């Protein structure tokens, strides 16, 4: 299975940033309902959540089960059309260039945080260690970048 990519690797962050910068605001998704601006606002909110800047309400989901959480983070592909926390959809898209600057800042902030430190509770996955946040964060961003062909 190998080691999954994580936000804690500078090379993985550089790859995610390059892929995000290849998307234009008018790019159409290959699936789903979000436009490019909504996707960028959504992933920025998810990175702000990981950094502890955006509080979210816990949801009752089976994903908080440690075994299922591990499978989703490390083994299973990210399902298309998965529901998300309302807080991660609450921020409307801003100006593309400004949201891209914010993406760069939040990606670096989340990726340079200590994986050993205290991390916020995830609304669906429950309490996770930093290493899980790093892997999940990469996988989530990768999913949305693929959604827009990047």
Short-list 121, 101, 141, 144, CA closest to 7: 141
User: What's the confidence (pLDDT) of residue 61?
Assistant: 87
CB-side exposure of 43: number of CA atoms within 13 Å? 30
Mean pLDDT of 90-103: 95
Q: Indicate if the pLDDT at residue 30 is higher than 70.
A: yes
User: What's the confidence (pLDDT) of residue 2?
Assistant: 62
Give the Cα separation of 36 and 38 in Å (integer).
6
Least confident of 39-43, 44-48, 49-53: 49-53
User: What's the confidence (pLDDT) of residue 47?
Assistant: 97
pLDDT digits (tens, 9 = 90+) for 127-147: 999 999 999 999 999 999 999
Least confident of 5-14, 83-92, 123-132, 133-142: 83-92
Question: Residue 3 has which token pair?
Answer: 């080691």
Higher local confidence (pLDDT), 1 or 27: 27
Short-list 8, 74, 87, 82, CA closest to 44: 87
> Per residue, what are the HEC states of the chain?
CCCCCCCCCHHHHHHHHHHHHCCCCCCCCCCCCCCHHHHHHHHHHHHHHHCCCCCCCCCCCHHHCHHHHHHHHHCCCCCCCCCCCHHHCCCCCCCHHHHHHHHHHHHHHHHCCCCCCCCCCECCCECCCHHHHHHHHHHHHHHHHHHCCC
pTM for this entry: 0.93
**Average pLDDT along the chain:** 93
* Domains recognised in the chain with CATH numbers: 10-147 (1.20.120)
User: What's the confidence (pLDDT) of residue 78?
Assistant: 83
């Amino acid at each position: 299975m190998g080691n999954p990519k994580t936000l804690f690797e500078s090379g993985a962050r550089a790859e995610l940033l390059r892929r995000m910068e290849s998307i234009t605001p008018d790019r159409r998704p290959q699936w789903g309902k979000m436009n490019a601006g909504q996707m960028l606002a959504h992933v920025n909110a998810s990175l702000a959540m990981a950094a502890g800047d955006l509080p979210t309400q816990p949801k009752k989901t089976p994903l908080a089960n440690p075994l299922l959480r591990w499978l989703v983070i490390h083994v299973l592909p990210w399902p298309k059309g998965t529901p998300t926390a309302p807080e991660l959809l609450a921020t409307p898209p801003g100006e593309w260039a400004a949201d891209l600057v914010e993406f760069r800042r939040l990606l670096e902030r989340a990726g340079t945080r200590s994986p050993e430190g205290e991390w916020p509770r995830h609304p669906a996955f429950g309490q996770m260690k930093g290493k899980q946040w790093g892997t999940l964060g990469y996988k989530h961003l990768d999913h949305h970048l693929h959604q827009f062909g990047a």
